[in-house]
């Protein structure tokens, strides 16, 4: 039996993430990695607190699926991280 995408949606199956989701996921991971690297010049105590804050912010928005909301959060997060971590490269 061949299952088309419309039949799969009708049966409740997900077609999986789209190409946009894949690209956005890579952008989010790159921003996260850059933020962690940018904390390298901070003192040890400040670095651990900053890493915990960065991780919390990313985890808080992990549930997002709408590509436009993800793009908006990604841009806002990048702006906020640039203010807190001037060494952030992108």
Is the confidence at residue 8, as pLDDT, over 80?
Answer: no
Is the confidence at residue 28, as pLDDT, over 90?
Answer: yes
Is the confidence at residue 5, as pLDDT, over 60?
Answer: no
Q: How far apart, in whole angstroms, are the C-alpha atoms of residue 68 and residue 25?
A: 13
Is-above-0.85 flag for pTM? no
Domain ranges in the chain are 16-84
Supply the pLDDT for residue 86: 81
3-class state of residue 61 by DSSP: coil
Q: Which residues of 37-70 are buried (b: 16+ CB within 10 A; e: fewer)?
A: ebbeeeeeeeeeebeeebeebbeeeeebeeeeeb
């Amino acid at each position: 039996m061949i299952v088309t995408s419309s039949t799969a949606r009708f049966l409740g199956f997900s077609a999986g993430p789209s190409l946009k989701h894949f690209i956005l996921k890579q952008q989010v991971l790159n921003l996260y990695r850059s933020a962690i690297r940018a904390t390298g010049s901070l003192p040890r105590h400040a670095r651990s607190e900053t890493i915990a804050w960065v991780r919390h912010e990313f985890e808080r928005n992990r549930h997002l699926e709408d590509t436009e909301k993800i793009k908006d959060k990604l841009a806002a997060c990048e702006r906020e991280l640039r203010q807190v971590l001037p060494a952030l490269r992108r």
